[in-house]
Amino acid sequence: MGSMQPQLSWPFEEEVFPHDLLAIIQRTVSAGEFPALTVIHDDEDDWLVSDGVHDPNGAGASSVLHLQHVVDLDPSLSQLATMSPGCVAWRSTASDAWVIEEWTYADDSPRLPLDL
């Protein structure tokens, strides 16, 4: 499939997220209803942000937005700009430190929301 934005490939200049970087963001996070608890930087160089509670793959559950929108809501996300493709960052609560691990899809194929 390839990245949504091949012109903004990682690693990022000065190790910060570009302001115009798009990500698939769960609506509960972008609306500020729930904190971002899971952030995936997939092998195709795309970024996915979820609340770690609700299913981000449901109809209308996620949308494509500038990642800066959620970084403005939660500046701790800026720490993840250096996270390599193929990694996931997670935490149990918004006040916990981010844990970064290798990421693979359970069935080895991306599961993106169909109704963006």
**Domain assignment of residue 76, yes or no:** yes
Domains identified in the chain, total number: 1
Name the pTM for this structure. 0.82
**Domain assignment of residue 113, yes or no:** no
Scored b (16 or more CB within 10 A) or e, 72-92 reads eeeebbeebbebebebbbbbe
Residue 24 near residue 1, CB atoms below 8 Å = no
Count of CB atoms situated within 10 Å of the CB of 112:
16
**Domain assignment of residue 1, yes or no:** no
**Domain assignment of residue 43, yes or no:** yes
Higher pLDDT, 30 or 108: 30
Domain extent for 78 = 17-82
Residue-wise pLDDT tens digits, 14-49: 888 898 899 999 999 999 999 999 999 998 889 999
**Domain assignment of residue 99, yes or no:** no
